[in-house]
A and B are shown apart, each in its own frame.
Chain A
Amino acid sequence: MHITNRHIKQTPRNKDRSSLYTFGVSTSNLSLDDKLDKVKALNQEAFEKGGAIPIGRGATAYVYAPYGGVPGLVEGFTIGKDARHGGDFTNVRTVTVGPDCHSVGTSYPGLPKGIGAGDQRIVGSPHWWDAINTHF
């Protein structure tokens, strides 16, 4: 419910205040179920491939920033808008997983607060693009 309200649907309380999954291009035609399925798949991938950062209570944040494209021509793999980065599009995502290595607490586009883009625990290469000049 937290992920849905805060980072997928964005209820009025969360609008413009929290990061939003966009899955690259506009997702206006996707149903909520489709978006949830995509987020689950993204979470699984971040859990398997991302860098682990302890967050207390035995839980862990996994941060993954896959980067692709053609250098200088195409930049890609935008998964959403990062509220902590002025709403810019980003390829970075964070998922928090409980000590059971199964339950997801939250997940969102962007870095956890308190972690810099150069943190060595991040797997991948974090990038941000402004909405106007983004190349998908």
Chain B
Amino acid sequence: MIGSLQIAVMMDPFDEDSWDTTKGDHYTDLEIEGREWEELFFNVLQAPEGQKYIDGEDIQKYYEHQENLFKENLTDKGYPMLGRIWWMFRDTNYLPSEVHQLLAECLKLQKKTENVYALSTLGKLIAACYEALKINSGLCFLSD
């Protein structure tokens, strides 16, 4: 898998125009890479890879369906926050109030796997969560 997700700390990640460095918004040096994402979600968490596109299908509905399949599967497994990171080519955001839960999911999973790529991903996510929590901020994962 190619692609990457740059991780930034941002107070209101759902409003891109609100970026304000005086409020602590900043990029971390952390970036999730394709192989890391793939190993964490498909190897360790056994997330569904999705269904094939049917010719003529509405593309937005197709993507929504892929996203929902992924999220619902991981929510059922106890990882609703991680389940938002459904593709390397879509941005993902977490409000300040959601970072604690993301951190808890990562710490829980960290104890259950020995997959080095997954552990690398989790290490980055955990570091990003701590960085955000220092200033009670949120997180955004930015695709290329």
Contact = CB atoms under 8 A, between A and B. Distances in A.
Most buried by A among B3, B10, B88, B142: B3
A18 B143 CA distance: 10
B27 interface: yes
A55 B19 contact: no
A114 B50 contact: no
Interface stretch (B56-64, B74-82, B94-102, B107-115): B56-64
27 contacts: A2-B143, A5-B16, A11-B16, A11-B19, A13-B19, A13-B25, A17-B27, A17-B142, A19-B144, A53-B2, A55-B88, A56-B49, A56-B88, A56-B89, A59-B89, A61-B2, A96-B89, A98-B53, A99-B52, A99-B59, A99-B62, A100-B53, A100-B57, A112-B3, A113-B33, A114-B1, A114-B35
Contacts of B144: 18-19, 94, 106, 108, 112-113
A17 B53 CA distance: 33
B8 A13 contact: yes
B17 A11 contact: yes
Contacts, number: 81
Given A13-B8, A13-B10, A13-B16, A57 B59 contact: no
B59 A55 contact: no
On chain B, which size bracket covers the interface?
20 to 34
Contacts of A118: none
Interface in B1-47: 1-4, 6, 8, 10, 16-17, 19, 25, 27, 33-35
A55 B66 contact: no
Interface residues of A, number: 31
A72 interface: no
B2 A112 contact: yes
A55 B1 contact: yes
